[in-house]
Structure 1
């Protein structure tokens, strides 16, 4: 397949999750009727990744998913079910499994990939740990927990240094504690939570308001925790920390560090050394002005206040807003409307940590310095809030309502 843009401008969006959909819908709203928007994505459907934790505990994945083709077609956006294999930036060409596509502008929103080779035992012949970064990995983690329920033993859950998705491991830890108590086996499952972050609840937003509340929750539930740790290796019956401490583990679920899309690394000068797309504060590639990136796939060339790291934390809410801002800037570069007023939204984070019997509502906001709020809420209120948040975001992304918050 070879496409020409001689008669109309063509913007390609690589990726069909939070950032990709936020970008595609915004582009369609801002560009002219003669301009084309194409989304390239290999799976065929959107999956609400924030709910993969609950899939581990037995819930169907299809509640938080929808088919991409009809959703995008309804908005006049072409969908190509294919994988991006290479970007030839000097030629404005994307190579996919189905051929080549020419573009006037490209937005890369392919997310991240688990770097399971960073820690011995996370992958390969001697793999001993599980993680939750997609449907298959969620199913594998679920099977390991079923074995734990039948034959209780020590459990280790956490996030390795370099991980960017933290909500899931906190939710899983709290929800698993509830499940183990309901099964009457919690006293037979010594439980340790580990994180490379400096304190419980940092979440990449320096969420100090959550710190004391999570410490209280973990203490109440007798969950031992280690913060600021590295992982040396994961064995079949233990997790060895960088300090040399060995944690017994019949089952370990570790969120790995992330890299960018492996295939994009094949494209010369496109990514940094970790596979992420280097962008400026307009989400524009630092070398190729026709290329933009948003969401987990990108890394800013400097920290954007109020964040203190070049990479933004991994949340669905923020990824959508980043995709929208990138799309506004792309449209502006093509003469369709003004650019985004801000690189990052004033409200950077809104999330619900559903821990089964209790949980936290968290939000972070600010322009130069982050402010945080964390409110502990009981079950079933926290569960209702989580369900409402999920259904609202899925509905918004399925219908393309980018005009709503």
Structure 2
């Protein structure tokens, strides 16, 4: 019998748990440890940020799903891993032993790297559903009194797709509200060129996105530098 422990229950952790359960032997146990009771579908965060969806629309309770799949679920924060003892230490003081450990916690957001960045600073975010919800509230106020807006991703970003998604979703929402002409939109990115995506481009993403931005009359600034104070 083997005990397979997975830390994290997001887009990486949940599919991994399902695949491990499917491929494991009947006597093996799959355990998921996460500090949240719900899964949220990250790609829908930009929709929440313009109120096309509400936060609860993209959340799923984890316990019933894992119970149905016969996967053990522990809702706790992991405070330490002890590889010598093959144990995971939890915030409540308990320890979980493992034979195999999979870490799928996702990125650690580092808004503090740039002064003023992030929901606690002076910008909105779609990195997490808990950010996207307040961003939707901000958007509701913005469309009542529209003006110039800057959207983008700063240096050090590991995933640029959501910034583009939010840009085009916001632009579409403005058109639907018939106020697009009142909003000057600027896209700022630390990529060396539009469509680089941190991957050197995917197919002709550069040409496609440059064309789309021109067609939608969106200004853009690439490889931007933000000075630290």
Would the aligned equivalents of 2:50 and 2:140 in 1 still touch at CA under 8 Å? no
Residue-pair matches, total: 226
Structure 2 equivalent of residue 103 of structure 1: 98
1:173 to 167, 174, 180: 167
Q: Distance in 1 between matches of 2:11 and 2:183?
A: 36
Query: What's the offset of the Cα at 1:211?
Result: 1.3
Residue by residue over 1:79-106, the C-alpha shift from the partner in whole angstroms, topping out at 9 and shown as x without a partner, is: 1111111111222111112321111111
Structure 2 equivalent of residue 14 of structure 1: 7
Structure 1 equivalent of residue 215 of structure 2: 220
Paired residue secondary structure (1:231): coil
1:41 to 34, 37, 40: 34
Q: Report the TM-score, using the length of structure 1 for normalisation.
A: 0.53
Query: What's the offset of the Cα at 1:108?
Result: 0.4
Structure 2 equivalent of residue 299 of structure 1: none
The answer to which of 202-211 and 132-141 deviates more is 202-211
Q: Distance in 1 between matches of 2:15 and 2:179?
A: 43
Would the aligned equivalents of 2:33 and 2:74 in 1 still touch at CA under 8 Å? yes
Query: What's the offset of the Cα at 1:182?
Result: 2.8
Q: Report the TM-score, using the length of structure 2 for normalisation.
A: 0.91
Q: Distance in 1 between matches of 2:107 and 2:8?
A: 11
2:144 to 150, 158, 163: 150
Paired residue secondary structure (2:124): coil
Q: Distance in 2 between matches of 1:124 and 1:174?
A: 21
Would the aligned equivalents of 1:46 and 1:66 in 2 still touch at CA under 8 Å? yes
Unmatched tracts of structure 1, length 5 or more: 1-7, 235-405
Paired residue secondary structure (2:112): coil
Unmatched tracts of structure 2, length 5 or more: none
Q: Distance in 1 between matches of 2:98 and 2:11?
A: 21
Matches within 5 A, 1:155-304: 155-205=149-199, 206-232=201-227
Q: Distance in 2 between matches of 1:146 and 1:201?
A: 29
Residue by residue over 1:22-48, the C-alpha shift from the partner in whole angstroms, topping out at 9 and shown as x without a partner, is: 221222122222221100012112111
Paired residue secondary structure (1:113): coil
Paired residue secondary structure (1:152): coil
Q: Distance in 2 between matches of 1:116 and 1:212?
A: 30
Query: What's the offset of the Cα at 1:152?
Result: 1.8
Q: Distance in 2 between matches of 1:229 and 1:82?
A: 39
